[in-house]
Amino acid sequence: MQQVARDRVRNVALVGHSKSGKTSLAEAMLLASGAISRLGRVEDGATVSDFDEEEHRHGHSIGASLLTLDWDGHRLHVLDTPGYADFEGEVVSAAAAADIAVVTVDAVAGIEGGTEAAWERLEQAGVRTRIFAITRTDREHADVQGVLEALRQRFGPRVVLAATLGQGERTRSLLDASDPALAAVREQLVEALAETDDALLERYLEGEDIAEADLRAALCSAVRTGQVFPAYPVCGLSGVGVSELLEALCEQGPPPASDEDTRAPALLQVVKTSSDPFVGHLSYVRVLRGTLTSGDRLHNQRSQADERAAHLFAMRGKEQVEVPALAAGDLGAIPRLSSTATGDILAAAGGLAEAAASVPALDFPAPTYRSALRPRSRDDLDRMSQALARMLEQDPTLAMERGVGGEIVLLTMGDVQASIAASRLQQEYGVAVDVEEPLVAYCETIRASVEAEYRHKKQTGGRGQFAHVVIRVEPLERDAGFEFAEHVTGGRVPRQYIPAVEHGVTEALAEGPLTRSRLVDLKVTLLDGSSHAVDSSEFAFKIAAAQALHQAVLEARPVLLEPVMRLHVEVPSDLVGDIANELNGRRGSVLSFDAGERVTSVEAFAPLAEVQRLAPQLRSLTHGRGRFRLEFDHLAEVPPQVQERILAKRQLAATPGA
Ligand SMILES: Nc1nc2c(ncn2[C@@H]2O[C@H](COP(=O)(O)OP(=O)(O)O)[C@@H](O)[C@H]2O)c(=O)[nH]1
Ligand SMILES: [Mg+2]
């Protein structure tokens, strides 16, 4: 592959609802460009873009794939993204790498949740140039005009149809005025263009016939600047409209860089990382500045590691085409960068630290769906942490925490990503795990002041054991922790044994009587006791103290405390009622609503036990448009009926044979 002038490079992200034809469109683009000679079908697992085993198994894309193709003297780097919400991180990567988005909208289904979600991501990433592809136009009930109207309703009259289906493979450009039957739709296009240019507007209002070349020039600058969003009908299976779409991308898309930019020292950002048993670690990069030549040394700003780009690839799905250089604006891949993760910035010698600082960080959504990964064997456990560390480096929408009893909790965007992570652990790293809902880290506390007494006495032959303590336990306010005091008078518990009493109590706090969870927020006072000149020891006092505590707590109306999370939810405003209901059903309490025109922000508290797997439900309620963050806020008493349920469940689990 030869280098092309920078003004002929286009970086395109294909985004849109799941199953709206992105992957098939990418395949059709490759065919039209001559990069492949036969069209592969998604159903057969035969497309260039869906190359992963998991993708074949699930029947849809799970990772963004990069396809480089040449068309009419231009180089297009096309990122085909997954539409499924669990893989939103891949859309973030693609939006950061691209300057142009093609938003696919199904000609039958019209605007769907994934269309809206993609649109919001493009706004956030600041991708101004957006072109709609109205897809799957060959199907029964396909309604290009109807979809166009819906798009104009939703996104405004800036959306205009730029071509219509005609006879045969080619669609017909609406810039061309020769077909009077198209006058009405053409009018919308001309009007929208006139709105973007004062001189054109004047001519339009005077009723002048504007030449096709002038309209074309106006369309290019309006699309580049995001003032107009043109829509093109396409059919990925037959190829109808695909060359017109490619033409539009070349004509209307902004170039990512100028030739001037290629002469600076190289600076690049890793937008995605993949690993594959054959190739190993592969970093997908966007070259921000300069020219990277194979063999170049690079410095990683975050890990401070020096790396070498021994090989550079242009990508076509899983196929790698070795290239001698990648220049400013190019998207490509570098294998085996050992200390480099997604989002990292790499610079060639010559510093550029300040240039690197100006690169915006990739804004990945935080994962909220929690799964306990339970290794099936000791061997699996040993290998799991290392495998997970690698997976986390590659995918910033994965996170890991230690849960109850040290179990590994994996955080993902949803259930599908969790099950794919588990099968990758098995397939790629040979680690067998079961995926389950994690245990919640409860605490226990007391609700009453109680005194208790314990006499530890043992006589076994020679020297015996003797310790006697009287203690009081009393509740403290939430988050107060633990306090110890003593009011022993007259040396009835000799001074030297008091630390042992405190020690015994503290150790006993580790396991409360209800669920063997930590006891918190209580004060223990040693009131009285007695000792024996020969048989007393620190050991005996420790035992007596622990037993007294246990007894006191049982009588002090013990209660479970559960972690309560603070949720920040963003949902389409018309669905706020449904979300409030859902949170209520999960023992949540809404703190505030902040209603925007389209999106309402909701702040709420809810117990972790009820929301640690909220993500898929929230998504299905909002058709993929709701999102939320959550963080630990405080511990709160578990309501009595809920506590009963939890205790009954634990009892059952602890009963052998149950
Ligand atoms: N009839 C018809 N089916 C299509 C067309 N494009 C895609 N499909 C089918 O629609 C389904 C989803 O397509 P795919 O490209 O995987 O969509 P993606 O999830 O957006 O990547 C697959 O079964 C495709 O074969 C089209 O132009 N016409
Ligand atoms: Mg796909």
CATH number at residue 268: 2.40.30.10
Same domain, 310 and 379: no
Strands (E) across 490-543 are located at 522-530
Most distant CA pair in the chain: distance in Å?
A: 117
* CATH code assigned at 604: 3.30.70.240
Q: Report how far residue 347's alpha carbon sits from residue 354's, in angstroms, rounded to the nearest whole number.
A: 11
Last residue of a domain, one of 410, 436, 462: 436
Decide if 232 contacts 133 (C-beta within 8 A). Answer: yes
Decide if 516 contacts 654 (C-beta within 8 A). Answer: no
Which ligand has its closest atom nearest to the C-alpha of 16? 1
| Position 647 in a domain | no
Residue 131, C-beta contacts closer than 8 angstroms, at least 6 positions apart = 100, 101, 102, 103, 223, 229, 230, 231, 232, 245, 248, 249, 252
Same domain, 26 and 110: yes
What's the count of helices (H) and strands (E) in the chain, helices before strands?
Answer: 18, 32
Residue 530 has pLDDT above 80, yes or no: yes
Question: Three-class SS of residue 71?
Answer: strand
Q: For residue 342, what pLDDT band results from cuts at 50, 70 and 90?
A: very high
Kindly write down the DSSP assignment for every residue of 360-389, as one continuous string: PPP-PPPP-EEEEEEESSHHHHHHHHHHHH
Pocket test for ligand 1, best of 14, 17, 19, 24 (most atoms within 8 A of CB): 24
Pocket test for ligand 1, best of 136, 139, 141 (most atoms within 8 A of CB): 136
Digit-coded pLDDT (tens) for 371-409: 999 999 998 888 999 899 989 988 999 999 999 989 999
Same domain, 167 and 89: yes
| Position 652 in a domain | no
Same domain, 523 and 593: no
* CATH code assigned at 402: 3.30.70.870
Rounded to two decimals, the pTM is 0.90
Cα 23 to ligand 1 centre (Å): 7
Decide if 500 contacts 541 (C-beta within 8 A). Answer: yes
Decide if 135 contacts 25 (C-beta within 8 A). Answer: yes
Residue 320, C-beta contacts closer than 8 angstroms, at least 6 positions apart = 279, 313, 314, 333
Nearest CA-CA partner of 192 in 204, 206, 209:
204
| Position 523 in a domain | yes
Sign, CA dihedral 24-26-31-36, equals negative
Cα 34 to ligand 2 centre (Å): 21
Digit-coded pLDDT (tens) for 534-590: 999 999 999 999 999 999 999 999 999 999 999 999 999 999 999 999 999 999 999
Cα 316 to ligand 2 centre (Å): 15
Residue 252 has pLDDT above 80, yes or no: yes
Q: For residue 135, what pLDDT band results from cuts at 50, 70 and 90?
A: very high
* CATH code assigned at 186: 3.40.50.300
Q: What is the mean pLDDT of residues 162-181?
A: 86
Protein residue closest via CA to atom 18 of ligand 1: 19
What is the phi/psi pair of residue 648, to 5°? -65, -40
How high is the pLDDT of residue 658?
A: 45
Q: What is the mean pLDDT of residues 618-637?
A: 93
Q: Is the Cβ atom of 19 under 6 angstroms away from ligand 1?
A: yes
Decide if 562 contacts 607 (C-beta within 8 A). Answer: yes
Same domain, 612 and 586: yes
Decide if 444 contacts 560 (C-beta within 8 A). Answer: yes
Q: Is the Cβ atom of 115 under 6 angstroms away from ligand 1?
A: no
**b/e map 163-176, b = 16+ CB within 10 Å:** bbbeeeeebbbbbe
Last residue of a domain, one of 412, 436, 460: 436
| Position 648 in a domain | no
Q: Is the Cβ atom of 22 under 6 angstroms away from ligand 1?
A: yes
- Number of domains present in the structure of the chain: 5
Digit-coded pLDDT (tens) for 415-466: 999 999 999 999 889 999 999 999 999 999 999 999 999 999 998 777 889 9
Residues with CB under 5 A from ligand 2 (ion): 22-23, 61
Same domain, 244 and 98: yes
Nearest CA-CA partner of 17 in 86, 87, 98, 82:
82
Q: Report how far residue 100's alpha carbon sits from residue 14's, in angstroms, rounded to the nearest whole number.
A: 9
How high is the pLDDT of residue 351?
A: 58
Q: Is the Cβ atom of 65 under 6 angstroms away from ligand 1?
A: no
Decide if 189 contacts 196 (C-beta within 8 A). Answer: no
Which residues sit opposite 285 in a β-bridge?
A: 270, 332
Residue 2: Cβ within 10 Å count = 7
Q: Is the Cβ atom of 579 under 6 angstroms away from ligand 1?
A: no
Same domain, 584 and 521: no
Digit-coded pLDDT (tens) for 33-72: 999 999 999 888 889 988 887 777 777 788 899 999 999 9
Same domain, 521 and 570: no
Tokens of 657: 């044979």
Residue 161 has pLDDT above 90, yes or no: yes
| Position 266 in a domain | yes
Decide if 172 contacts 163 (C-beta within 8 A). Answer: yes
Same domain, 135 and 215: yes
Share of the chain above pLDDT 90, in %: 81
Kindly write down the DSSP assignment for every residue of 284-330, as one continuous string: EEEEEESEEETTEEEEETTT--EEEE--EEEEETTEEEEESEEETT-
Q: What is the mean pLDDT of residues 297-308?
A: 92
Q: Report how far residue 21's alpha carbon sits from residue 14's, in angstroms, rounded to the nearest whole number.
A: 10
Q: Is the Cβ atom of 17 under 6 angstroms away from ligand 1?
A: no
| Position 98 in a domain | yes
Same domain, 52 and 103: yes
Give residue 594's domain range. 562-642
Question: Three-class SS of residue 646?
Answer: helix
* CATH code assigned at 546: 3.30.230.10
Q: Is the Cβ atom of 547 under 6 angstroms away from ligand 1?
A: no
Q: Report how far residue 183's alpha carbon sits from residue 171's, in angstroms, rounded to the nearest whole number.
A: 16
Last residue of a domain, one of 357, 387, 410: 357
| Position 158 in a domain | yes
Same domain, 28 and 71: yes
Same domain, 609 and 581: yes
CA distances from 202 to 198, 221, 288 (A): 6, 18, 40
| Position 144 in a domain | yes
Residue 657 has pLDDT above 70, yes or no: no
